[in-house]
Amino acid sequence: MTLDIKICGLSTPETVETAIARGATHIGFVHFAKSPRHLSVERIAELVRLVDGRAETVIVTVNPDDALVARFAEEARPDWLQLHGRETPERVAEIRANTGLKVMKALPVAEAADLEAIEPYRPVADRILLDSKRPKGSVLPGGNGVSFDWTLLDSLDPELAYMLSGGIDATNVAEAVRIARPSGIDISSGVESAPGVKDVGRLNLFFDALDRLKATA
């Protein structure tokens, strides 16, 4: 079984190293001031250098302007930008063209009608990420620790390569993969001991669950 695994919202060398050692394919860093996982561009650049090509690096951001996008590309130099705001397909294409970076577009899902938003982004995004819609009162576009009804994804084009996010942890990742059949899993709060605090023990539990899943696939 080939499954990309993105650990998002990392902030320390220890957790970055643990994620890479256990097999993460994508290492995510958040630049969004309202998030407990927020890091400065300078700190992200340091951690990207630490990864040093052992996994693909992703900066998660929300509605970035041109100046911020340029800083990401020039100073931090990730492999991907993950756009988690209200970026239009045209804006996604523009960011991709201006930076030369791969772009992942996150789309919120709560009901079947939300999946209609996918198609306009397919020609312009290198990958789609499907995440739960944020709960009422939350200012965070992701990392809220809630999932959506994965059976909604039965209607998706089987050729669509997408990452699944939202409320996934060691206890339900096998179910998520079985029901949704994604090409990748994105996890953040599911490996935290507190908002924004990644936990090495929980990281290991999550990857142990993945190892069991792969052994039975």
User: What is the radius of gyration, based on Cα positions, of the chain?
Assistant: 16
What pLDDT, on a 0 to 100 scale, did the predictor assign at position 147?
A: 87
Architecture per CATH, 4-216:
Alpha-Beta Barrel (3.20)
Q: Are 22 and 200 in contact (CB under 8 A)?
A: no
Q: In 3D, which of 50, 41, 124 has the Cα closest to residue 87?
A: 124
Q: What is the pLDDT of residue 116?
A: 96
pLDDT per residue as tens digits for the range 124-170: 999 999 999 875 555 555 555 678 999 999 999 999 999 999 999 99
- pLDDT for 136 equals 56
Of residues 119, 113, 41, the one with CA closest to residue 105: 119
pLDDT at residue 133, as a whole number: 84
Q: Quote the pLDDT of residue 144.
A: 52
CB 103 within 8 A of CB 60: no
Token pair belonging to 42: 């300078």
pLDDT at 1: 60
Predicted pLDDT at 91: 98
What percent of the chain has a predicted confidence (pLDDT) above 70?
A: 94
pLDDT, tens only, 27-74: 999 999 999 999 999 999 999 999 999 999 999 999 999 999 999 999
Q: What is the residue-averaged pLDDT of the chain?
A: 94
Listed in sequence order, the residues at least 6 apart from 115 whose beta carbon sits closer than 8 Å to its beta carbon are 109, 152, 153, 155, 156
pLDDT of residue 217: 77
At 146 the pLDDT is: 77
Percentage of the chain lying above the pLDDT 90 cut: 90
Domain boundaries, the chain: 4-216
Count Cβ atoms below 10 Å from residue 13 Cβ, excluding itself. 11
Encode pLDDT of 68-96 as tens digits: 999 999 999 999 999 999 999 999 999 99
Backbone phi and psi for residue 8, each to the nearest 5 degrees, phi listed first: -110, 150
Report the residue count for the chain: 217
The encoded tokens of residue 144 equal 């809220």
